[in-house]
Structure 1
Amino acid sequence: MDRKAWVMRAVEALRFATFKEIQRYLDEEGEAFSKKELEDTLKALVQEGKLEEKDGTYRLARKKGGEEAFEKLFGG
């Protein structure tokens, strides 16, 4: 798995998680990230719309429902 996949797996497992909680989860899974690697990966996932961040807590981005599915099928 790449870094993004590991971080997504951590957030899926934890549901709502701070940076430290995500870091701890990854350490326990044997995937130690440097602080900068984890910060960069979290920022990238937020920019891609896969994660949401509020007050230092991360969670999976909410699905946009039918509109998102329509755009994927027909190219919006």
Structure 2
Amino acid sequence: MDTRGWVLRAVERLRFATANDVQRWLDEEGESLSRLELARALEALVQEGRLELKGDLYRLSNRSGSKRAFDELFGD
């Protein structure tokens, strides 16, 4: 698994997490990342829209694809 995959898995398991929480989870899983690698991965996932950043907490982005598709089919 690549760096972004590990970071995404950590946020999935923790639900809401700071960068330090993610680092701690990764260390417990035996996957060591530098702070720079972690920061780059978190930023890339936020830019891709897979994570949201609220204050200093990261969480999974809400998936709105099915809602948007439903609205397009049955919207007013």
TM-score, normalisation: structure 2 = 0.86
Q: Secondary structure at the match of 2:22?
A: helix
* Structure-2 change in CA distance of 1:68 and 1:48 (3 Å): farther
Q: Encode CA deviations 1:2-56: one digit per residue, 9 max, x unaligned.
A: 0011001000000000010000000000001000000000000000000000111
**In the TM superposition, what is the alpha-carbon distance from 1:68 to its structure 2 partner?**
6.2
Percent sequence identity over aligned pairs: 55
Q: Secondary structure at the match of 1:17?
A: coil
Which residue in the other structure is 1:4 paired with? 4
Computing the radius of gyration from Cα coordinates, the structure with the larger value is 2
- Going from structure 1 to structure 2, the CA distance change for 1:29 and 1:43 (only over 3 Å counts) comes to same
**Cα gap change, 1:68 to 1:26, in 2 (>3 Å):** farther
Structure 1 residues 17-28: aligned runs within 5 Å: 17-28=17-28
Counterpart of 1:33 in structure 2 is 33
Dislocated runs of 4+, deviation >6 Å? none
RMSD: 1.4
What is the match of residue 65 of structure 1? Answer: 65
Compute the TM-score of the two structures, normalised by the length of structure 1. 0.86
Aligned residues: 69
